[in-house]
Structures are given as structure tokens and as C-alpha cells.
Amino acid sequence: MNDLQNENPNTCSSRKRRVFPGKMLFLFLLTMLSVQLYAQQTVTGKVTAADSALSGVSVVVKNTTTGTSTGSDGTFSIKVPANAVLVFSYVGFADQEITVGNQTSINVSMTGAANQMNDVVVVGYSSQKKATVTGSISVVKGADLVKSPQPNLSNSLAGRASGIILNNRSGEPGYDGSSIYIRGLATTGSNDVLIVVDGVPGQIGGLERLNPNDIESMSILKDASAAIYGSRAANGVILITTKRGTSGKPAISASFNQGFASPTRMPKMADAATYAQISNEIAYYNNKAGGMNQQYSDEEIEKFRNGSDPLNYPNTDWAKTTLKSAALQNQANVSVSGGSENVKYFVSLGTLYQDGLYKNGATNYKQYSFRSNIDANITKDLKVSLYISGREEDRQYPTASAGDIFRSIYRAYSTLPAFYPNGLPSLGIEGANPAVMSTNAGGLSKNPVQVFNGILKASYSIPGVQGLSLDGFVAIDRSWNFTKTFATPYLLYSYNKTDDSYNSRIVGGSNNLATLTESQYSQVQVTSNVKLNYRRNFGQHNLDLFAGYEQSEIRSETFGAFRQNFPTTQTPELSQGGTAATDQTNYGSSYHFTRQSVIGKASYNYSEKYLADVQMRIDGSSTFPSDNRHGYFPSVSAGWRISKESFFNVPAISNLKLRASYGLLGNDNVGLFQYLNNYSFNSQLVLGGSIVPGIDLVKLANSQIHWESAKKLDIGLEATFLKNFNLEFIYFQQKRSNILAVRNASIPAVSGIVNPYGADPLVPSENIGKVNSNGIEVTLGYQKPSRNFSWGVSGNFTYAKNKVIFIDEASGILPYQSQTGHPLNTYLLYNATGIFRSDADTAKAPHLSVSQGGDLIYQDYNGDGKITADDQVRSKYGNIPQITYGLVMNASFRNKVDISIVFAGQAQVSQYVLPESGTVGNFYSSWADNRWSPTNPNGTYPRVDTRASASVNGGQYSSTFWLNDASFIRLKNVELGYTFSGNWMNHVKLQSARVYVNAFNVFTITKVKDYDPEGNSGSGQFYPQQRIINIGANIRF
């Protein structure tokens, strides 16, 4: 992949088998010992680019770890042995090798042509020169990921690469990740992407909470190149490689960030006078004979408006009362890397703190993480690496969920105060006062999670056979997820104006006493892998083979307990709760899952001109019955570097590669034991005064259950032209079949096979679905390196469209309502074509029997003169965008000031949002201010109703009126940095210092009116996405 971000001097690229350029500025790779042994000659010189000094260029003695880097004036000095060859490298420039001979002064001019063909890309179970890669793989560098101040790593990818579709659904600290889809939706089943960290597939702990400072690079396998991960690769694979040490004296790097977060967007709600008027209208619609002032007189409404009586006629902005203008967050990170020739290390420590948005809120998130990656050469042939990382994620929340708090913010009437003038909190909406719910008044919910990942790797070059080696690893992942929720009662008040008194009401806890829930969920995964490799060149024939065996086993245990009727709130311990047998309950369950795989890959290329890869994986999964357990996942891919042909003589094009891949991938991400009829103690009935457990059939057997398969075709063209331009064009196609889906719609309920609501379906997953998808990805970049002003811009565009070929549907479904032939996740809605302007107006069009002025006009789609369910039609788009795009820009002035900008956008996407409005909750002002009413017959929104979800203008007849075009373009990230230079730094032993300001979700252009267009809540009630402004500093010494 093109990556035009890598000229930042802090970048650390992933050329791990060659040299370690990038952050080398302050690395001294000579140990004193090696200096004494080998130093025979001192070479000095200056490195320039376009006649300007270039600092930070890595200067390394070839085939050693001896090296230095150029200073701010571009000069270097290095002691080298006789006959040394120096390698000069700098990201964005072609490497240069210069034989020292007897020269003592060497001046080098780096040429501008960025040739990334020599970069090494991490691919499945191996790494490959970018030049020889035949698959579609996007690479994002760790150095770019740290530019996003959002502490959740998944958000840092937005806009950076084609083919990866991200939507940040919520901003709640601890739960603020993005959904990740590679090339959009491809199946009705799980679309989860496989995360591989340092070679461990599905490492526990995942991607979101990794410390971005620890990450060297991320490779995103989008096509059949992922087939080496077989059964789990159908939805794409993200390979994460963490940083490792390089020889030299310790390089210490520290950074600190201070961020300020606020919601990207929040709906504006109707003010008190408007809401009072609306409640009059609602009462009127329910009882027209009662007139227009059944709830409030005009005088009262005026009091709401003029604020003359704040006790009885307040005007409350609940969001303002509950939320701060900005929440603080900070991140600190220290890492040390270095080592001797035989032992190298990278160790890091990171902390993260995020405060919630609530005033006096209970919500916060703290994270502490460490990583220690050590590589050691035990003998000449045997290398051992130990990767250990761990983190503590401390989540703390009020006992009310963010969903409930925001629901209450949007529901609570503006006509009720949050706090009375004397300071007492009001009842809010039904005893839910968000300004109190968000604090610890109702107790706390603490959710500490610990994750441990350990990997022991070894590789052994088998003596006697050149190119033959054996490697393997054992990885142990563990996580512990503990929750302790102590819900305590507290008082809210209502005001009685008749006798000017305040009546308290106890809310929180249960039965006016505290309750305690504790639970523990732990997981352990053991993965082991052994692999035999053969890598050798025979003249121009380059061969790279491996075959291996891998198995993994995952177990989890859950248990929990509950107590209520605590005599006092002083004792939040299970042992101190109510003593009646019925005051205490507990539960527990466990889970065990195994996979076993044989993998193999053969790569061949001739002179790096003709490239071919063949991969195969055989997977066994405990999900499937023994006779159907194994899946075979082959793939082939090939590439042709046309630019290497002698007949290709186009000087403007320095690299041109055509590649294609085709392969079969799988998915086994469905519930276990579906090949059996599952019975479970599932219900409690009361017989003879006590509870008797009842057994239910909870899952019918599907003895035939096996792999879902994905056939992926990918054709790509890569080019580098006019020195500074990069282009990649990809066409991809995917045919998903045997999709593990549940038959539901086609099974008549009279058969008795009926799926329960809100629980695992009775019907098992069956290999019945078929979905085709295809699309293109285009990336075009320009990178202009130069001493004074380097800049680059890269745009990426992804179009990913899917079409349901088979999905279980009722045999009698109307053709235009069926999902078959349409994209996944579309909505079935009435077409709202307008609003009846008056009761009389309803006569003009087919309408519901209850239609009146102010109601939505629904299209009589089938033309039968009636509005029935047959008039619903399928929406064109679902809530996963078909088009996503990104624009990444960066510039650097004299290596002092740098700026980088990421825009991300999406199009061809729809999200249905019906606010919970009515007497049940307040209205967005977009609706309130534009509603139809008897006095506003030209309103652009329908009349208000008691409960939008049950209204003929809302949930009762879900219509396109509430379907939003969720397209947007947003400035996702921007970073402006300043790198210090000057002699003063040497005095304080500082190798580098950089300060920066960056921001996340800076602004958004969208047609969506009230909420963040990345949200996917059908009611709009969620913890909003965050806009974060951050300042930070990095120092190295």
C-alpha cells in the first residue's frame, strides 16, 4: 500500500528485516564494545536532499547493527570497520549504499523518488517485500495511528486506507470504538474482522485498547491473501505488529497528551413554552372536544416563555444541566528500546485517563498498559523472542447506563426543573433525573478488566540445509472482567404548589434498599504454532515455502451473584446483604472452544518480476460435528511487475504491477453445539409455593452444520509514476455461500418452530445464505519530499456493494419487499410523500382510516386504494455505507513544523432514527419547531403524538420520513506539530522534542440534522461521539 505519511521523522516503519529507519535520529546503535572491536576508521559527511540538509537519516553499516543518524544540520560521524558499506535510509527516499573504501568524508544526496517497493509488509505468518506482494493489503503505520487523540485505536484508522469501513457508534469512555467492516457487509452472519496481534489469531483483548505507541504497523488483508487464516478470515484480517528493539544504547521516548472532549453533536430540544404548547396539542388530538388548552393555559405557556416563575414554570435544558462543556482526557507513555547485538528489547508503559461528560459524573476510564518485547539470539541459529503485554482497563460508571442517562436527557420535559430553586433535584422523567443519574448518587458500577498476553517465539535455522528453518510459538492470553454494581437508593423531589411543599420519592436500588451485583468473566486462550520454512534463491528463482500446524483453545468462565435488601449502604459486600434466601441469587456458565489447523504457503518469484503465491489452510473447529468438522481453504495469487520487463520503457512510470488473487475463505463464527438438540434449564415456574426449574428445548439440531465460505477474487494494479505519484486500483468480488443463517421467515408458526423474542433463536444456523459483493478501491497519492517543504496528499475511495442472492424469506413475500436482490441491512418502510394539510386534505389520497390533518401521506405503492403493509418498500441503502473515502494530507516545513490532516467520509448510506417523543419524551427542536399543527398547517414535520413509537406517523407505520441520508464528510483528524532543534538540546541530553496539537472529529458536513451521522441508534439516544482537542509533547533522550 501507498503510505504517504511516512516522512515524519518520528515515523518508524516496518522494514524489520533490513534496517530500522525512521526514529533513528537519537539511536546510537554501537555498543561501546563493538566500537572498540571494530572501529577502525571514522567517516564523516553530510546528507542532503534537494540541496538541503536532511536530518534523521539512518546511517548503518551494512549487515551490522552499527549505525547512527544525521543531526539537524544533516551531518553524521560514524566509526566503521574496513571494507564497510554504509546504508543511508530515510523514509520517503530510496536507500543508498555506499562502499566506504578509504574515504573519510562522504556526502550523500538522497534522491526524491520514494521507492517503497523495498518496504517489507507483514503478511499472514510471514513478511514479504512489498514488491513481491500479490494480495490486496493496506498498511497503516503506528506513527500515523498516534496522530489521533482518540484513545480507542479502532477510531484511528478512519479515512487512512481504502477498503476499511469504520463507524464510530458511541463516545462513552470505555465503549467508544468503531465498528470495523472490510469492504462492507458480505454476509447476513457475523461480519467480524479477525484481529491478529504479533501472529496470534484472535488475541484476547483485541484491537481497540492496544496502546498505539506500541504499534509498529497494521496490515489489513482484504482479499484472498487472508486465506492463510482460513476459517476465520472471510471478513478480512487485521495484522498488528508491535514494536521491537534495535541494538544500541537505550532510546527513551516519552509522550504526554492532554485532551478536551465534547460531543460532536447533540440534538437541540424543544424549550418549555414549545413543549407546553405541544402537550396541549397532544391532549387535543386525544380528545378534540377538550380544546387546545387541556394541559396548559396560554398564561402558563407565557410564564414558561418569560421565565417569571422559575419554580413552577422553568425552562430546562437538560443536556446543559447534565453535561460539562468539555471532559478531560490524558495519555502518557514511556518506552525504552535498545539492546546489544544478541539481545534487543522494547519496553513501554502507558496510561490513559478519560473523564465522562457528566457534571460531577461517575463515569471515567483509566487504562494502564505495559509491553515488553525481547528478542534474543541464543546461538547463531536459534532465536527466541518473548512478548509480554498486559493492561488494566478500569471502567467506572454510575449505576444508570449511558443509554438510560441520555434517554432521560432527551425525554425529560423542558417544563420541569432539573433542580428546584432551593437545590433539591426533581423527579426528572419518571424518577429518572439525568443530572443525578449520572453521578454516584445511585451508587457505582465498577468494571475493571485485566488483559494479559504472552507469546514465546522461537526460530531455528536448521544447520546443513541452507534456507531451512523451523519456528513456532506458544501464546497465552488471559482476561479477567469483573463487575461490581452497588445500586443505592436516593431521594428526588416533586413540588406541590398547593401547599408549597416538597415531597420526596426514593429512587435507585430496590425496595428502598441497596442492591449489589457482582460478576466475573474470565477467558483464557492458548495458541500454539509450529512451522517449517524454506526460503532460498536459485539465481533469479526466489522460493519461499512454509508448512505449519496451529491449534488454539479458548475457555471462559462466568459467574455472578446478586443480593438485595441491604440493611445499610455502608457495606457494599455480598456477605452484608439481605439474609432471606430470596434476597440472593447467583449464576454461572462456561464455554470451551477449540480449533486445529494445518497451514501451508508457497511463494515463488522470478527476478521479482513474475510472482506467484499458493496458500492452503485446513481448519478443524469444535463448532461443527465430527464428520463435518474440517474445512479446506486454498488460495492462489499472482503478480506481474510489468515495469521490470525490458520491453517496458516508460520513464515516467517507475513501477507498474498487475496482480490478482482468488481464494476460498471461511467463517465459523456461530454458536456452539448446534449439531445437537439443545435443552436447557431455561424457565422458572412456581409450583407449591416455590420455584421449580423448567427445561426447554432452546435449539433444534442441524446435524449438517459446516463452514460458511467466501470466494474472493481481487485484481489490482499498482503504479508509481512521475516520480511522486502512487496509484492503486483494485477490483474485488466476493461470493459468500453456505452462509450460516437462521431460517425464520419461511417457517410457518403453525409448525411450532417459533423463535423467541430477544433470545437465541430456536432454529439453528444453517448453511443457506448467499450474498455477492463487489466493488472497487482506488488510492491516488502524491508525495513531494524536500528539505524545506515536503508535502503529500493521498486520497482513497472505496465502493463496496453487496446483493443478497439468497436469504430465508417467506414463500408468500411480495417481490418488491423481499430482501433477495437488495443490499444487506436495508429497511422496509412506507414511502412518506408529504403531510396532509388538513382533515379534508386526507380525501385527496389513499389514507389510513384514522388519518387526519398533520399526518404523513403514505404512498399507495401497489395502487389498491388502501394503505396496507403491501405498500412498504425496501430502502435503497442500509446503515453500512456503500461508499467510503478518505483524504490524507501532510506537510512538513524545514522538518520543524509538520501538519497532517485526515478527512473521512461516507455516502450511499441510510440510518433510520425515530426520536422517543410525545408525552413520553421531549422533541428535537427540528421537529418541534416545524411540526404541523392546526395553527401551522404548513409544518414540514407531522403533527405531534402521544408516543412517536406507536404513532401512525412514527413507529406504527415506519416510513422514509425518518430515514436519514447518513452521508457525511468530516475532518477526522488534524495534527499540527513543532519539532525543536538547536544546540540547547544537546546540553539537556535531549535527542528530540516535539509539541503538537491535534484534534478528532473537528467538523462534519452532513444532511443529518440532530445527531452524529456515525450513530446507529434507532432512537438517537446514545452517548454522543466525541470531538477531541488535544495538546501533546514527545521527547526522546
Partner 1 sequence: MAVALLAMATSCKKDFLTVNPTDRVSETAVLNDSSLFEDYVVARYIGAKLQDKEGDGTNPGFGRGFEYAMWSSLTDESIYNNDDATWLIQRGLLAPENLGNAGVLWGRSYRSIRECNFALNNLANVPMSDGHKTMLKAELRFIRAFRYQDLIRNYGGIVLMGDKVYNLSDDLQDAALFTRSSIKESIDYALAELTAAAADLPLDNGDTWKAGRATKGAALALKSRLALYAASPLYNAGTWEDAAKAAQEVIALNKYSLYQGGYGNLFLDANNSEAIFVRFYTKNANHTHMEIANGPNSYGGWAGNSPLQNLVDDYEMMDGKAITDPASGYNPQDPYKNRDPRFYATILYNGASYRGSTIETFVPGGKDSKDGPDNWNSSKTGYYLKKFMNDSYPLQNPWGNAGFQPWYYFRYAEVLLNFAEAANEAYGPDVTPSGASLTARAAVNLIRSRASVAMPDVQAGLSKDAMRTAIRNERRVELAFEEHRFYDVRRWKIADVTENAPAGGITITKNGSNYVYTTKVALDGRRFLTQHYWLPIPRTEIQASGNKIEQNPNY
Site for partner 1 in 666-705 (CB under 8 A): 672-673, 676-700, 702
The site for partner 1, by CB under 8 A, has a size of 121
- Do 865 and 846 meet the contact criterion of CB atoms below 8 Å apart? yes
598: cell is 494445518
Burial class (CB in 10 A: 0-12, 13-18, 19+), 879: buried
DSSP assigned state of 430: T
CA-CA-CA-CA torsion for 807, 811, 813, 817, nearest 10 degrees?
A: 20
Stretch that binds partner 1, among 252-260, 393-401, 729-737, 805-813 (CB under 8 A): 805-813
The binding track of 381-420 with respect to partner 1, each residue x by CB under 8 A or -, is: ----------------------------------------
Shortest distance, CB of residue 614 to partner 1, whole angstroms? Answer: 11
Decide if residue 849 touches partner 1 (CB under 8 A): yes
- Do 67 and 54 meet the contact criterion of CB atoms below 8 Å apart? no
Decide if residue 629 touches partner 1 (CB under 8 A): yes
Stretch that binds partner 1, among 82-90, 351-359, 808-816, 1011-1019 (CB under 8 A): 808-816
654: cell is 517507475
Of the pair 48, 677, the CB lying nearest partner 1 is at 677
Shortest distance, CB of residue 320 to partner 1, whole angstroms? Answer: 22
Those residues with Cβ within 8 angstroms of residue 430's Cβ, 6 or more apart along the chain or in another chain: none
Shortest distance, CB of residue 661 to partner 1, whole angstroms? Answer: 21
Decide if residue 944 touches partner 1 (CB under 8 A): no
CA-CA-CA-CA torsion for 354, 357, 360, 365, nearest 10 degrees?
A: -20
Q: Which of residues 468-497 bind partner 1 (CB under 8 A)?
A: 489, 494-497
Shortest distance, CB of residue 942 to partner 1, whole angstroms? Answer: 16
Distance CA 923, CA 943 (A): 12
Question: Nearest 5 degrees, angle CA 420-CA 425-CA 426?
Answer: 80
Distance CA 33, CA 375 (A): 20
Distance CA 208, CA 216 (A): 15
**Residues 568, 585, 940, 986: which binds partner 1 (CB under 8 A)?**
585
Of the pair 317, 583, the CB lying nearest partner 1 is at 583
Shortest distance, CB of residue 811 to partner 1, whole angstroms? Answer: 4
Shortest distance, CB of residue 27 to partner 1, whole angstroms? Answer: 40
Of the pair 346, 546, the CB lying nearest partner 1 is at 546
905: cell is 467520509
Stretch that binds partner 1, among 204-212, 232-240, 268-276, 845-853 (CB under 8 A): 845-853
Going by DSSP bridges, is the β-strand pair 443-461/468-487 parallel, antiparallel, or unpaired?
antiparallel
742: cell is 437462521
Smallest CA-to-CA distance from 642 within 718, 535, 537 is with 718
Shortest distance, CB of residue 994 to partner 1, whole angstroms? Answer: 49
Decide if residue 848 touches partner 1 (CB under 8 A): yes
Smallest CA-to-CA distance from 505 within 418, 424, 444, 445 is with 424
Stretch that binds partner 1, among 109-117, 379-387, 583-591, 647-655 (CB under 8 A): 583-591
Of the pair 677, 862, the CB lying nearest partner 1 is at 677
Q: Which residue has the cell 455477492?
A: 772
- Do 64 and 51 meet the contact criterion of CB atoms below 8 Å apart? no
**Residues 102, 105, 498, 935: which binds partner 1 (CB under 8 A)?**
498
Q: Which residue has the cell 416510513?
A: 959
DSSP assigned state of 294: S
Shortest distance, CB of residue 921 to partner 1, whole angstroms? Answer: 9
Stretch that binds partner 1, among 66-74, 718-726, 837-845, 846-854 (CB under 8 A): 846-854
Those residues with Cβ within 8 angstroms of residue 545's Cβ, 6 or more apart along the chain or in another chain: 533, 534, 535, 600, 601, 602, 603
Q: Which of residues 238-297 bind partner 1 (CB under 8 A)?
A: 285-290, 294-295
CB under 8 Å, gap of 24 or more: what pairs does 503-507 form?
505/427, 505/431, 507/431, 507/432, 507/442
Decide if residue 126 touches partner 1 (CB under 8 A): no
Q: Which residue has the cell 461516507?
A: 906
**Residues 328, 650, 652, 950: which binds partner 1 (CB under 8 A)?**
950
Q: Which of residues 986-1025 bind partner 1 (CB under 8 A)?
A: none
Distance CA 504, CA 422 (A): 14
**Residues 32, 850, 935, 982: which binds partner 1 (CB under 8 A)?**
850
H and E: helices and strands count for the chain: 9, 50
CA-CA-CA-CA torsion for 996, 1001, 1005, 1007, nearest 10 degrees?
A: -170
State CA 953 to chain mean position distance.
Answer: 35
Decide if residue 947 touches partner 1 (CB under 8 A): yes
Of the pair 459, 596, the CB lying nearest partner 1 is at 596
Of the pair 388, 920, the CB lying nearest partner 1 is at 920
Q: Which of residues 520-549 bind partner 1 (CB under 8 A)?
A: 530, 532, 534, 545, 547-549
Q: Please, which residues bridge with residue 411 across strands?
A: none
**Residues 45, 314, 508, 666: which binds partner 1 (CB under 8 A)?**
508
Decide if residue 429 touches partner 1 (CB under 8 A): yes
Distance CA 275, CA 270 (A): 6
Stretch that binds partner 1, among 47-55, 145-153, 189-197, 422-430 (CB under 8 A): 422-430
Of the pair 629, 644, the CB lying nearest partner 1 is at 629
Q: Which of residues 954-973 bind partner 1 (CB under 8 A)?
A: 956
Q: What is the DSSP string of 96-118?
A: EEEE-TT-SEEEEEE-S---GGG
The number of CA neighbours under 13 Å toward the Cβ of 331 is: 27
Burial class (CB in 10 A: 0-12, 13-18, 19+), 938: exposed
Of the pair 287, 308, the CB lying nearest partner 1 is at 287
Stretch that binds partner 1, among 2-10, 150-158, 510-518, 603-611 (CB under 8 A): 510-518
State CA 97 to chain mean position distance.
Answer: 41
Shortest distance, CB of residue 286 to partner 1, whole angstroms? Answer: 5
Q: Which of residues 726-765 bind partner 1 (CB under 8 A)?
A: 743, 745-754, 756-759, 762-764
Q: Which of residues 811-830 bind partner 1 (CB under 8 A)?
A: 811-813
Shortest distance, CB of residue 143 to partner 1, whole angstroms? Answer: 38
Of the pair 445, 655, the CB lying nearest partner 1 is at 445
**Residues 474, 598, 612, 845: which binds partner 1 (CB under 8 A)?**
598
Decide if residue 509 touches partner 1 (CB under 8 A): yes
Burial class (CB in 10 A: 0-12, 13-18, 19+), 446: middle
Stretch that binds partner 1, among 424-432, 799-807, 835-843, 854-862 (CB under 8 A): 424-432
Stretch that binds partner 1, among 313-321, 590-598, 797-805, 1008-1016 (CB under 8 A): 590-598
Smallest CA-to-CA distance from 414 within 503, 322, 507, 294 is with 322
**Residues 339, 600, 666, 1020: which binds partner 1 (CB under 8 A)?**
600
